A and B are shown apart, each in its own frame.
Chain A
Amino acid sequence: MKKIIVASLFLIPLLFVACTKCEEDTPAATLYSLVIPEGLPPMNIPSSNPLTVEGVALGKRLFYDPILSGNNTQSCANCHIQANGFSETSQFSTGIDGIHGNRNAMPLINLGWQTKFFWDGGANGLESQVMGPITNPIEMHETMAKAVAKLNGHAEYPELFKAAFGSSEVTSQNIMRAIAQFERTLISGNSKYDQYMRGEVLFTAQELNGKAIFEDMDKGDCVHCHSMGSTFSDFEFRNTGLDSISADEGRYRITLNQGDYGRFKTPSLRNVELTAPYMHDGRFQSLLECVQHYNTGFHYSANLDPNLYFAVKGRMTQQEMEDVVAFLKTLTDMEFVNNPAFH
């Protein structure tokens, strides 16, 4: 597909004319100053896709535009609802053809600190992730080629792409990059937990106790995987003993390594109060059910995560489990949920 050089011979006279106008090219997009809340580490943003005001705005518009779905009826936001931490309350989301899969829509929070996406980590970049829901037949069921064609034929998008990326030709690469830019701005860092850590508010006695149990290796031991600090996850893939034989292959589907069977990505716990139902298959409705699972409910199998394998069943009392839940609710960030920049 390289006829460029041959074709360019005819363009040479034009080049000399055109170059006198080079200075009048579209002004570069304005760099977006991403505010990282105190307590969160710097974000690694790919140098190929710096955040710009125009790029983020375009990504937001695309995120909310059903034009990216096969029959123009669903946008990303249909299953990623801000009020629910950009997840949704259904166990399984329903796609444009009225069918659903077997995994719960993941929340979109602090994605800029994550490196692998989907419950099985099948996408190893936020840009590449964008293609997944758009093209999945059980989700938005569109091809990238048709999405590109629709946007190129749209009255406004070519100008918006030009403002963001310097070219009015819409490409799949720039669709992915724009949406990834918007998603990197979805930062939650002002929950009661964050305010507590900054010394601005006090925890109740129950929240304090819940935090201690969360961190105690002999009690909750939640922190092993839901690392404290920025993200409340290690974003590794683990088998948490939901079933002795997992109905879902999990990470195995990606790696074909037996050890990855039934392993899923550790989700962040930020805004977890708002992201029910829980687990990769949305089987639990409440946070208490989740804590109970890790206390007494988990099943043994060859792939069970070692941290659980060595954990004593029944190590938390009912009160201690409720305290952990009280602590988890301090991760709710109403500023994030109501942020007008996100909708």
Chain B
Amino acid sequence: MKTTTMIVSIILAGLLTNNMVLSKFLGICPFLGVSKKVNTAFSMSIAVTLVMIIATAVTYPIFYFLLRPDFEYLETVVFILVIAAIVQFIEIFLKKYIKPIYNALGIYLPLITTNCAVLGITMLNVTDFDVNAYSFGKLYLFSLTNALSAGLGFMLAMVLFAGIRQRLETADVPEFMKGLPITLVAAALCSLSFLGFAGIGG
């Protein structure tokens, strides 16, 4: 596939057809936990997108130049430690130098280390693109695009869902369905609507 068509298809997949949350089930915890208000959902997604891109920017070269092909079995350990370190570092950096951004996003950062969407995207970058088929430059470009579009897809799902949940708050639901169950059913409907995008950019 040509580079440009590849990039377009990566973006469409991340946003719509293979949405991180609604079709890959990654990052469900923040999706359910931090989606009661549109504002919070939006800030959280910005933080996740940022960490995803930086994590990809760091882990992909590590995988390509250091781990491949003999030490691939260290992937899980190395990636999670790198992500934990990056999150810590971003937090310290923002706290010290860019206070307004820290005030807006800082509270979500510690939650992101154990967010499976971030580790998930760094691992998907490794499995999604055939290392033998492309040069490193292209692979790096694809991976970064993949991280960006996955982050934006996460944001889309979060913000849409937060909108739905604000309405759900006032709805009259049976006692045993209150809270998590009705939220999950709403998520099911949300995910069902995303099924309609299947095939776009395929």
Does A associate with B in a complex?
no
Binding site for B on A (CB under 8 A): none
